[in-house]
């Protein structure tokens, strides 16, 4: 009878040790490392000028110099992102309204000026495309990832599986990605 009790206690200790080991392995698998900012000087310079930021980090969207009208559009959009308010903006087709608001939305996100991006478009499929374009920049834009690793690294580590976000940690602390 004594050997059975001793065996039972030994098994309980082994199981507890195994649970602790597996919990540690799972936690290590959820924990990610965020690299340092690759070029802090470039980041600081671009954060002083929204149009420079857009041309630097999103050159595939903003390959041509900004017109005076487009600079005004960026200023208007960024003013609303920084301070709030309502503004309807009308311009010719092909003037860059959607592209500018997508770029300004990304600036708002990386600078912590907005927590949630609300996309309103002519219809649901167009809104989905805009949201997807913004999301893809955080997942695939290498220059953005180099200079904003605190945002891009956690997003990239999800590898498109949003359910992983609930348990993701950075240096042992939850990342709180939603």
Query: Please, which pLDDT band fits residue 10 given cuts at 50, 70 and 90?
Result: confident
pLDDT at 1: 47
Q: Which comes out higher in pLDDT, residue 139 or 25?
A: 139
Q: State pLDDT tens for residues 48-74.
A: 999 999 999 999 999 999 999 999 999
Query: pLDDT digit string (tens) for 128-142?
Result: 999 999 999 999 999
Q: State CA 137 to chain mean position distance.
A: 9
CA 14 to chain centre: 41
Q: What is the average pLDDT across 24-32? A: 62
Residues 78-115: pLDDT tens digits? 999 999 888 777 778 877 889 999 999 999 999 999 87
Query: According to the model, what pLDDT value does residue 142 have?
Result: 97
DSSP lists the bridge partners of residue 170 as 32, 173
Overall pTM surpassing 0.85 (yes/no): no
Look at residue 19 and tell me whether its pLDDT is greater than 60. yes
Nearest alpha carbon to residue 78 among 55, 107, 120, 53: 107
Averaged pLDDT for residues 12-27: 72
Confidence of residue 45 (pLDDT cuts 50, 70, 90): very high
pLDDT at 107: 97
Domain ranges of the chain: 33-174
DSSP string, 76-102: HHHHHHHH---------TTSSHHHHHH
Residue from 138, 172, 170 nearest 35 by CA = 170
Q: What does the pLDDT average to over 32-44?
A: 92
Q: How far is CA 171 from the centre of its chain?
A: 18
């Amino acid at each position: 009878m004594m050997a059975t009790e001793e065996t039972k206690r030994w098994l309980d200790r082994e199981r507890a040790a195994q649970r602790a080991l597996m919990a540690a392995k799972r936690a290590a698998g959820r924990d990610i490392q965020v690299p340092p900012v690759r070029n802090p000087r470039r980041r600081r310079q671009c954060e002083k000028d929204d149009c420079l930021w857009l041309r630097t980090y999103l050159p595939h969207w903003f390959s041509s110099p900004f017109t005076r009208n487009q600079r005004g559009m960026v200023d208007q959009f960024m003013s609303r992102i920084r301070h709030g308010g309502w503004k309807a903006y009308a311009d010719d087709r092909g003037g860059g309204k959607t592209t500018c608001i997508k770029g300004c939305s990304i600036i708002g996100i990386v600078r912590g000026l907005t927590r949630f991006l609300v996309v309103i478009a002519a219809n649901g499929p167009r809104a989905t495309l805009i949201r997807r374009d913004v999301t893809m920049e955080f997942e695939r834009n290498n220059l953005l990832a180099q200079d904003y690793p605190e945002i891009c690294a956690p997003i990239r580590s999800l590898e498109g599986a949003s359910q992983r976000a609930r348990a993701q940690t950075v240096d042992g602390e939850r990342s709180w990605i939603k």
